[in-house]
């Protein structure tokens, strides 16, 4: 049975419904064309054909080593049966999400129940070369970073994988779709002129580097799949351009062409050259190889070697547990591995002697004990891409990851972080959003899912818009089966002191689901990518985001990254200030950078089942509360709590506060806001969806007001000549109260279709200290 607020759900997709359902279910949405096939979904047929066959086949024993046809002496017949049944289900279901939300680029899941296909995430090991990767024949007994496999490619995609790939593509709709997409992308890049040098200041030439890397990966991939040397020639054009040998000049000058003072750029160019050198190794002639190497060594590896003893270019190597360390060590490692043995200067060996240990003691520790990436949800992409590329390249080239994957025993939780920080609207995108992504994706969790035995990471990511690119082709384990949402708890709380955040939702597969992301956490220790945002939250419902984030300021602003002290200039910019967050302000002042909140939370532990339609029990709930007193001056006590109500159809946000300074509740929204005449409730509208918010038990004089997302006129001034970014379309909803003691309760009622006014509940008033799972029934 469907939840009352989902769109006309139906339990099964039949072939004749499948072509039209997107249009009828999502009349307001433009379905972008990243997925145009994958239909029909012959699910009814499949259930009949294979029911029972895959049910209960949950065991996942050592999948990565049992796929070798040579090594496996006693292949389990039932294992093979399960694998082949899973393969036929996969073929028949096809590419499961059949469209994507054009605004948020998240997959749209059809409403269906398929207890044959959507079982517990698992791997179905197989010896059938059409269904599973063979075992890597290169298994050195004493791996060493400078001892590489003898065949090419050596980075990420060894030749045994290229040989297996065409057959795997034939039997996996995801691989097939990604292969087609990469061909399409490479074809689109082909006629374009080489990437034009552009120094944009705030991110240097990082966009250039990542765009070139993206293109080179695609060209190299298509060449290897076709043997058509036109792709090699086109790749060389791009390499020559980035080396300054093209028709247009490239880089700030002929010495610092890859901009080593912003070393991310240098590292990404080095990686790009490394992959192209290695993947196209057999296609280059000696002159070309030497040219690529010379440029990469001069602009990349030599500046990299210097960086390890130069704090201007190499500050990232000195105790930086964040994306910089991963990207810089990763790029240098990839470049060094690519030319190892061909370059006689010894620089590749020197680099490898530095990068691996450095990444182990820094990059690998950027994942907290709870799996959270210590910077932000967006910086997770950059950090994990650098880390995964480095670990994967070391493994394929030399036979070991040198503990990059295991030195932090909690690294395996970082896929969970990414899944829970992804709401049905978009990421809970607190803090800085970072530069453009280009070659950066979430595909690291395809790799991690395989390495850490978390099939749900793979199942989640394979449906995402950024999956199609060359890494997926080699990181994806096609023996994966089941559904990521099956048995997946709706809520998860991330408890590390540094992070302290919660994720609660009403469904994993309904783009209209209710979602709350909320955080407390410490305000130092995030590589200056965070905001002063204890108590900040986002709310998604009805396919859109109601309370949201403003994102990065201008990285070029004066002292934008000066955030280690209370008076650091970073905290002068509106988007970074507490007033730019969805939280409480006291005296219109910033929160204290040394805040040390404590949190409590609980959940009914509701999990989703096989169906994409979840019937949420009426007592299913979750809450997160934080004692934020330490974040404020002039505040005797302050606790904020947020919870799901009424079977996860409503949200209550409560602030129990005693302050000697003025209090202001703030929330940023893209909605247009209509406040009723009493001032105690407001109707928020985005498109044709509405959400009603209302102050409960309104403290005397408490009214809702609205204003622009701009700084207060009496804020301390910005550094000379600096301005805040405009926030067009954003309204701040406010509730202002004088000093005093309050329990301020705000109820959010998304206006779900099919729900009438009487279906909404008005919760009792309960002090946050007394909140339990049943306190609001």
How buried is 73 (Cβ within 10 angstroms: 0-12 exposed, 13-18 middle, 19+ buried)? exposed
DSSP codes, 191-256: TSPSPPP---STTTTHHHHHHHHHHHHHHHHHHHHH--THHHHHHHHHHHHHTT-SSS--SSSSSS
List strands edge to edge, sheet with 689-696: 598-603, 622-627, 635-645, 650-659, 740-750, 689-696, 681-686, 672-675
* d(C-alpha 146, C-alpha 354), whole Å: 12
Task: By CB under 6 A, tell whether 408 contacts ligand NAG.
Answer: no
Tell how strand 537-541 and strand 544-547 pair up.
antiparallel
Shortest Cβ 189–ligand NAG spacing (Å): 7
Residue whose CB is less far from ligand NAG, 640 or 643: 643
Q: Quick one: which of 548, 596, 18 has its CA closest to 10?
A: 18
465 is written with which tokens?
């818009």
Burial of 577 (0-12, 13-18, 19+ CB in 10 A): buried
Q: How far is the CB of 111 from ligand NAG (least distance, A)?
A: 24
The alpha carbon of 417 is separated from its chain's Cα centroid by a whole number of angstroms, namely 8
179 binds ligand NAG (CB under 6 A): yes
**Strand extents, DSSP E, 542-648:** 544-547, 584-586, 598-603, 622-627, 635-645
Q: State whether residue 79 is helix, strand or coil.
A: helix
Report, in Å, the least distance between residue 374 CB and ligand NAG. Answer: 18
Contact call for residues 303 and 258 (beta carbons, < 8 A):
yes
Cβ-based nearer residue to ligand NAG, 171 or 323: 171
Mark 486-525 with x for binding to ligand NAG (rule: CB under 6 A) and - for no binding. ----------------------------------------
- Interacting stretch for ligand NAG, rule CB under 6 A, among 307-315, 389-397, 735-743, 744-752? 307-315
Which H or E run includes 177? Answer: helix 173-189
Kindly state the tokens that stand for 314.
Answer: 């190499």
Closest CA to 14 of 50, 51, 42: 42
Q: Does 227 bind ligand NAG (CB under 6 A)?
A: yes
Binding mask 558-587 for ligand NAG (x = CB under 6 A): --------x---------------------
Q: Looking at 115, 130, 350, 607, which residue binds ligand NAG (CB under 6 A)?
A: 130
Q: Would you count residue 672 as binding ligand NAG (CB under 6 A)?
A: no
The sign one gets for the Cα dihedral 569, 573, 576, 577 is positive
Query: b/e map of 268-293 (b: 16 or more CB within 10 Å)?
Result: bbbbbbbbbbbbbbebbeeebbebbb
Instruction: Pick between residue 584 and residue 589 the one whose CB is nearest to ligand NAG.
Output: 589
Kindly identify the residues of this chain, within the stretch 413-452, that bind ligand NAG according to CB under 6 A. 413, 452
Q: Pseudo-torsion of CA 708, 712, 717, 721, nearest 10°? A: 20
Binding to ligand NAG by CB under 6 A, coded x per residue (else -) over 682-701, reads: --------------------
Q: Is 588 in the site for ligand NAG (CB under 6 A)?
A: no
310 binds ligand NAG (CB under 6 A): yes
Q: Which residues contact 56 (CB under 8 A, 6 or more apart)?
A: none
The site map against ligand NAG for 26-65 (x = CB under 6 A) is --------x-------------------------------
216 lies in the binding site for ligand NAG (CB under 6 A): no
Site string for ligand NAG, 351-370 (x = CB under 6 A): --------------------
Q: Does 295 bind ligand NAG (CB under 6 A)?
A: yes
736 binds ligand NAG (CB under 6 A): no
**Residue 287 Cβ vs ligand NAG, minimum distance, rounded to whole Å:** 4
Give yes or no for residue 247 binding ligand NAG (CB under 6 A): no
Contact call for residues 345 and 297 (beta carbons, < 8 A): yes
Position closest to ligand NAG via CB: 548
Q: E strand or H helix at 663, and its extent?
A: strand 663-669
Query: Pick from 156, 292, 572, 659: which binds ligand NAG (CB under 6 A)?
Result: 292
What is the Cα–Cα distance from 557 to 718, expressed in whole angstroms? 10
Of 18, 604, 611, 650, the residue at the interface with ligand NAG (CB under 6 A) is: 604
Contact call for residue 619 and ligand NAG (CB under 6 A): yes
Residue 716 contacts ligand NAG per CB under 6 A: no
3, 85, 185, 414: residue in contact with ligand NAG (rule CB under 6 A): 185
Q: Would you say 664 and 608 are in contact if contact means Cβ atoms under 8 Å apart?
A: no
Contact map string, positions 78 to 107, toward ligand NAG, x by CB under 6 A: ------x--x---------------x----
Task: Report the residue number, 523 or 698, with the smaller CB distance to ligand NAG.
Answer: 523
Nearer to ligand NAG, 67 or 111 (CB): 67
Q: Does 171 bind ligand NAG (CB under 6 A)?
A: yes
Q: Which is nearer to ligand NAG, 112 or 313 (CB)?
A: 313
Closest CA to 740 of 682, 659, 671, 673: 659
Q: Which is nearer to ligand NAG, 147 or 181 (CB)?
A: 181
Q: Which residues contact ligand NAG by CB under 6 A?
A: 34, 84, 87, 103, 128, 130-131, 166, 169, 171, 179-181, 183-185, 225-227, 239-240, 243, 245, 256, 260-261, 285, 287-288, 291-292, 294-295, 306, 310, 312-313, 409, 412-413, 452, 545, 548-549, 566, 589-590, 592, 603-605, 617, 619, 633, 668-670, 730, 773-774
């Amino acid at each position: 049975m469907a939840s009352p607020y989902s769109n006309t759900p139906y339990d099964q997709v039949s072939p004749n419904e499948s072509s039209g359902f997107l249009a009828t279910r999502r009349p307001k949405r433009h379905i972008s064309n990243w997925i145009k096939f994958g239909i029909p979904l012959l699910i009814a047929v499949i259930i009949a054909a294979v029911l029972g066959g895959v049910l209960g086949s949950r065991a996942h024993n050592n999948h990565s080593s049992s796929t070798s046809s040579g090594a496996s002496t006693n292949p389990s017949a039932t294992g093979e049966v399960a694998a082949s049944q899973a393969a036929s289900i996969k073929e028949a279901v096809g590419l499961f999400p059949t469209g994507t939300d054009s605004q948020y680029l998240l997959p749209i899941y059809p409403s269906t129940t398929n207890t044959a296909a959507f079982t517990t995430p698992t791997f179905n090991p197989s010896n059938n070369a059409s269904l599973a990767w063979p075992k890597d024949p290169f298994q050195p007994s004493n791996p060493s970073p400078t001892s590489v496999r003898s065949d090419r490619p050596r980075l990420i995609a060894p030749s045994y994988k290229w040989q297996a790939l065409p057959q795997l593509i034939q039997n996996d709709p995801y691989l097939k779709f990604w292969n087609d997409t990469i061909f399409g992308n490479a074809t689109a890049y082909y006629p374009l002129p080489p990437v034009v040098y552009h120094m944009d200041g705030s991110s240097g030439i990082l966009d250039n580097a990542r765009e070139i890397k993206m293109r080179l990966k695609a060209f190299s991939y298509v060449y290897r799949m076709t043997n058509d040397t036109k792709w090699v020639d086109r790749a060389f054009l791009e390499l020559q351009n980035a080396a300054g040998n093209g028709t247009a000049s490239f880089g700030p000058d002929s010495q610092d062409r890859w901009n080593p003072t912003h070393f991310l750029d240098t590292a990404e160019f080095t990686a790009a050259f490394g992959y192209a050198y290695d993947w196209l190794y057999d296609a280059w002639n000696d002159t070309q190889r030497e040219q690529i190497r010379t440029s990469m060594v001069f602009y990349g590896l030599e500046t990299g070697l210097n960086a390890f003893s130069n704090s201007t270019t190499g500050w990232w190597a000195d105790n930086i547990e964040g994306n910089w360390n991963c990207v810089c060590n990763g790029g240098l490692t990839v470049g060094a591995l690519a030319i190892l043995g061909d370059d006689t200067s010894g620089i590749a060996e020197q680099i490898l002697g530095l990068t691996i240990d450095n990444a182990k003691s820094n990059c690998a520790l950027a994942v907290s004990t709870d799996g959270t990436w210590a910077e932000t949800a967006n910086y997770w992409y950059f950090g994990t891409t650098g880390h995964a590329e480095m670990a994967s390249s070391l493994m394929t080239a030399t036979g070991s990851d040198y503990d990059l994957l295991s030195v932090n025993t909690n690294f395996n939780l970082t896929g969970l972080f990414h899944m829970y920080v992804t709401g049905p609207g978009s990421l809970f995108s607190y803090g800085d959003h970072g530069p453009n992504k280009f070659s950066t994706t979430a595909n690291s969790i395809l790799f991690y899912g395989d390495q850490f035995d978390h099939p749900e990471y793979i199942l989640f990511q394979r449906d995402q818009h950024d999956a199609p690119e060359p890494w997926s082709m080699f990181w994806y384990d096609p023996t994966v089966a089941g559904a990521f949402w099956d048995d997946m708890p709706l809520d998860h709380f991330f408890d590390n002191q540094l992070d302290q955040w919660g994720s609660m939702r009403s469904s994993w597969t309904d783009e209209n689901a209710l979602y709350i992301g909320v955080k407390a956490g410490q305000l130092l220790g995030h590589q200056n990518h965070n905001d002063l945002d204890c108590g900040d939250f986002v709310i998604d419902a009805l396919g859109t985001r109601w309370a949201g984030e403003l994102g990065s300021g201008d990285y070029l602003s004066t002292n934008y990254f000066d955030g280690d002290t209370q008076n650091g200039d970073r905290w002068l910019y509106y988007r970074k200030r507490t007033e730019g967050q969805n939280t409480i302000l006291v005296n219109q002042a910033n929160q204290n950078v040394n805040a040390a909140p404590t949190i409590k939370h609980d959940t009914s532990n509701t999990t989703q089942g096989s169906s994409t339609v979840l019937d949420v029990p009426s007592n299913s709930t979750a809450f997160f509360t934080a004692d934020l007193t330490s974040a404020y001056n002039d505040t005797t006590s302050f606790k904020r709590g947020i919870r799901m109500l009424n079977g996860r159809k409503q949200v209550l946000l409560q602030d129990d506060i005693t302050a000697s300074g003025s209090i202001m509740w703030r929330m940023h929204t893209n909605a247009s806001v209509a406040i009723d005449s009493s001032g105690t409730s407001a109707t928020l509208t985005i498109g044709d969806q509405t959400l009603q918010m209302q102050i409960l038990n309104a403290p005397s004089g408490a009214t809702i007001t609205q204003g622009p997302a701009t700084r207060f006129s009496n804020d301390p001034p910005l550094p000379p000549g600096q301005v805040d970014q405009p926030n067009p379309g954003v309204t701040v909803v406010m509730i202002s109260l004088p000093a005093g003691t309050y329990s301020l309760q705000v109820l959010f009622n998304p206006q779900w279709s099919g729900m009438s006014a009487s279906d909404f509940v008005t919760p009792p008033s309960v002090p946050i200290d007394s909140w339990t799972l049943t306190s609001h029934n």
